[in-house]
Amino acid sequence: MTTDSSQSHLLTDETVKHVAFLSRLELTPDEVSQSAHELSEIFKHIDRLKAVPTEGVLPLDHPTELVDHIREDEQSSTLSQEQVLQNSPATKDVYFDVPKVLGGTS
Q: Which residues bind another protein (CB under 8 A)?
A: 1-3, 5, 11, 15-16, 19-27, 31, 35, 38-39, 41-42, 44-52, 54, 57-64, 66, 68-69, 71, 79, 83-84, 86-90, 96, 98-101, 104-106
Measured distance CA(43)–CA(39) in Å, rounded: 6
For the CB of residue 98, give the shortest distance to another protein in the complex, in Å. 6
- Per DSSP, 22 falls in state H
Q: Using CA atoms in the order 26, 31, 34, 38, what is the torsion angle rounded to 10 degrees?
A: -40
For the CB of residue 16, give the shortest distance to another protein in the complex, in Å. 7
Question: Residue 22 or 94: which CB sits closer to another protein?
Answer: 22
Question: Residue 33 or 39: which CB sits closer to another protein?
Answer: 39
Cα of 64 vs its chain's centroid, Å = 23
Measured distance CA(82)–CA(90) in Å, rounded: 13
